[in-house]
Structure 1
Amino acid sequence: MAFADPDPLRGIVLKICSVTVFVGMQTCIKLAGAGIPAGQISFHRSAFAILPIMLYLGWRGELRQALQTENPFGHVKRALLGVFAMGAGFYGLVHLPLPDSIAIGYAMPLIAVVFAAVFLGETVRLYRWTAVVVGMIGVLIISLPKLSLFGDGNMGSEQAYGAIAVLVAATLGAAAMLQVRQLVRVEKTSTIVLFFSVIAALLSACTWFFGWVELSWTALGLLAIAGFCGGLGQILLTESYRFADVSTIAPFEYCSIIMGSVIAYILFDDVPTSTTLIGAAIVVGAGIFIIFREHQLGLERRAARKASTPQG
């Protein structure tokens, strides 16, 4: 990915736009998704995302290069993890209030820290381990009231399964993040984005054999919009990284809980519970601390490299 001149404000605006579009995607899926299998939702989300991504790559003159890969099996592995994560996440999204689904999903970067230490051998010091533990406590505060609903009627059981599904999605999403980190060593960002959407659409299409439902024109339109928003959100996110450091724009991801709560209240009459608000505040705080700590460590590494570089 070619970097433009630093422009943090522009990067932040693009990041907030990407978060807004992704929340719009989730809202469309929630409006359309009642009774629609998660695999069918994943197919439409992936297939309709291909169009804006290809238009974007064509506009940048990167389409031809994006079709070239040195690690096709790596893309398949990343897509498998991503498809299962999407399916689980969409199931949870349909069966949980929107703010709860968003807040529990914040567990993904916390789990990614654990996976990076275990599977990649990255050094994770006490500060980040503490933040991960505190963040997971926040996730439990949000999730436990839902999990306690097992056997408490159909609606209660659906919310319990939804909470588990979002936690599974966060875990698989964290594993997918690690696979992306492996891919970026040899692959271009455009290649990773395009191959994921194409392979994910093909893999999701296989769930047709397990039974899809007939979609109304309204549901089909909502899923098409959701897919387009997914592709557009990925483009906006990619562009935001061209203008600002990750540590600068990453905290704005947490705007989604505010947007999700407003939309849930207006469209679904859902009011976040006190446990959701408390848990979300804890998770967001832990996430921002990890981002801040990563920024500090990055500054220390750069200072160390400058100090070790011979002068003159």
Structure 2
Amino acid sequence: MDGSVARPRPFLALGIRLAAAATLATMSMLVKVTEARGASLTELVFWRQLITLICITGLLAAWGRLRVLKTNRLRAHGGRAIMGITGMFLVYGAVVLLPLAEASALGFTSPLFAVLLGVFLFKDRPGKYRWSAVALGFAGVLVLTQPGFGLGGTAGIDPFGAVVGLLAALWVAIISMQIQDLNKTESPWSIVFWFTAFTTPLMALALPFVYVPHDPVTWSLILAMGLCGALAQMLLTASLRFGSAGVILLIDYTGLLWATFYGWSVFERTPPTSLWFGAPLIVGAGLLIAWRERALAAERKTKRQSLEPKAR
């Protein structure tokens, strides 16, 4: 992975993203558990970043490949770091404030925000399919969050947690665009290294204000969380290197299965009715967007091929 630009390898990208979804769900479960045992979000973010930085630097040094960290785009890495660390707090905050499955489902609104970002930032003109997907997805959000009282007369999820979850999804969409841009010239190792190199010192400055002693079990959970974070970071970055974000993001939906499993097995929480009704609408919206993006890409490719003979 030393080259600056990788050739598209969709099946490899899908496999990497599948592993990333499972690893991220496991990390989210560990974040929720360790936070309940007294670790603050700031501390968890610090250890996650530090462990990732150590793992990447150690591996590259052992392999004699530190040269892949050389970059001429420090400003772009800095911007990605600012957005990335903000997004990390939002994602972790949603996990802490909401049940795992609901936090995971809200995270799947990222493709919807990607469509809206395209409209406002790049003057895209979505057609009826993508606008329908946006409407369907946010209808699913309303069913899932149940403003006021929802299905069966039960109260919806924490409104503040829902807002944090939606903001986290927005930030994921923005960060995915940043990473795809960086992948044009940078290796996945470089992207993750500079993200952690910029943010670890910042989190270290805040650590004295939030740190509390932990027992050995909590420390082991923090270590496991950090290792999962390091692995997930590399897997996510690599998947965006080998495949289109619009396609491989579909695999993220498998994370809902892991989140539901952990919610039941670790936190003894049976998914509510609203999840079974709301989550399929959100997932369906993402699938519709992915299908439409793929159809448009095929149309553009056919058009280019038809014009090639005329150009010659």
TM-score for the superposition, normalised by structure 1: 0.84
Q: Give the aligned partner of residue 275 of structure 2.
A: 276
Following TM superposition, by how much is the alpha carbon of 1:182 offset from its aligned partner in structure 2, in angstroms? 4.2
Query: Are 1:116 and 1:178, in contact at CA under 8 Å, matched by a contact in 2?
Result: no
Following TM superposition, by how much is the alpha carbon of 1:245 offset from its aligned partner in structure 2, in angstroms? 5.4
Shift in CA distance, 200/248, structure 1 to aligned 2, threshold 3 Å: same
Q: Give the aligned partner of residue 232 of structure 1.
A: 231
Look up the SS of the partner of 2:146 in the other structure. Answer: helix
Q: Distance in 1 between matches of 2:30 and 2:39?
A: 13
Is 1:199 matched up with 2:202? Answer: no
Q: Give the aligned partner of residue 292 of structure 1.
A: 291
Q: Give the aligned partner of residue 153 of structure 1.
A: none
Q: Give the aligned partner of residue 189 of structure 2.
A: 190
Matches within 5 A, 1:135-284: 135-145=137-147, 159-208=158-207, 210-240=209-239, 246=245, 249-284=248-283
| Equivalent residue for 1:38, pick from 38, 41, 65 | 41
Q: Give the aligned partner of residue 24 of structure 1.
A: 26
Q: Distance in 1 between matches of 2:5 and 2:186?
A: 13
Following TM superposition, by how much is the alpha carbon of 1:107 offset from its aligned partner in structure 2, in angstroms? 1.8
Query: Are 2:43 and 2:207, in contact at CA under 8 Å, matched by a contact in 1?
Result: yes
Shift in CA distance, 310/157, structure 1 to aligned 2, threshold 3 Å: closer
Matched residue type, 1:33: E
Query: Are 1:99 and 1:272, in contact at CA under 8 Å, matched by a contact in 2?
Result: yes
Following TM superposition, by how much is the alpha carbon of 1:114 offset from its aligned partner in structure 2, in angstroms? 0.8
Look up the SS of the partner of 2:134 in the other structure. Answer: helix
Look up the SS of the partner of 2:309 in the other structure. Answer: coil
Q: Distance in 1 between matches of 2:10 and 2:164?
A: 38
When structure 1 is superposed on structure 2, of 279-288 and 44-53 the one drifting more is: 44-53
Following TM superposition, by how much is the alpha carbon of 1:116 offset from its aligned partner in structure 2, in angstroms? 2.2
Query: Gapped runs of 5+ residues in structure 2?
Result: none
Q: Distance in 2 between matches of 1:125 and 1:233?
A: 34
Shift in CA distance, 175/188, structure 1 to aligned 2, threshold 3 Å: same
Matches within 5 A, 1:122-133: 122-133=124-135
Q: Distance in 1 between matches of 2:250 and 2:156?
A: 33
Look up the SS of the partner of 2:124 in the other structure. Answer: coil
Following TM superposition, by how much is the alpha carbon of 1:279 offset from its aligned partner in structure 2, in angstroms? 1.0
Following TM superposition, by how much is the alpha carbon of 1:99 offset from its aligned partner in structure 2, in angstroms? 0.3
Following TM superposition, by how much is the alpha carbon of 1:79 offset from its aligned partner in structure 2, in angstroms? 1.2
Look up the SS of the partner of 1:33 in the other structure. Answer: helix
Shift in CA distance, 239/61, structure 1 to aligned 2, threshold 3 Å: farther
Following TM superposition, by how much is the alpha carbon of 1:56 offset from its aligned partner in structure 2, in angstroms? 5.7
Matched residue type, 2:262: I
Query: Are 1:28 and 1:226, in contact at CA under 8 Å, matched by a contact in 2?
Result: yes
Is 1:94 matched up with 2:93? Answer: no
| Equivalent pairs, count | 303
Look up the SS of the partner of 2:103 in the other structure. Answer: helix
Following TM superposition, by how much is the alpha carbon of 1:186 offset from its aligned partner in structure 2, in angstroms? 4.6
The CA deviation string for residues 253-300 of structure 1, in whole angstroms up to 9 with x for no partner, is 101111110111011011111112211110000011111111111111
Following TM superposition, by how much is the alpha carbon of 1:5 offset from its aligned partner in structure 2, in angstroms? 8.4
The CA deviation string for residues 168-226 of structure 1, in whole angstroms up to 9 with x for no partner, is 22223333333334434554443222211222322323332543333333222212211
Q: Distance in 1 between matches of 2:59 and 2:125?
A: 37
Following TM superposition, by how much is the alpha carbon of 1:19 offset from its aligned partner in structure 2, in angstroms? 1.1
Query: Are 1:83 and 1:203, in contact at CA under 8 Å, matched by a contact in 2?
Result: no
Query: Are 1:49 and 1:229, in contact at CA under 8 Å, matched by a contact in 2?
Result: no
When structure 1 is superposed on structure 2, of 118-127 and 294-303 the one drifting more is: 118-127
Identity of aligned residues (%): 27
Q: Distance in 2 between matches of 1:105 and 1:19?
A: 12
Shift in CA distance, 187/123, structure 1 to aligned 2, threshold 3 Å: farther
Following TM superposition, by how much is the alpha carbon of 1:148 offset from its aligned partner in structure 2, in angstroms? 6.6
Q: Distance in 1 between matches of 2:35 and 2:139?
A: 30
Q: Distance in 2 between matches of 1:187 and 1:12?
A: 21
Query: Are 2:22 and 2:255, in contact at CA under 8 Å, matched by a contact in 1?
Result: yes
Query: Gapped runs of 5+ residues in structure 1?
Result: 150-155
Query: Are 1:11 and 1:249, in contact at CA under 8 Å, matched by a contact in 2?
Result: yes
Matched residue type, 1:47: L
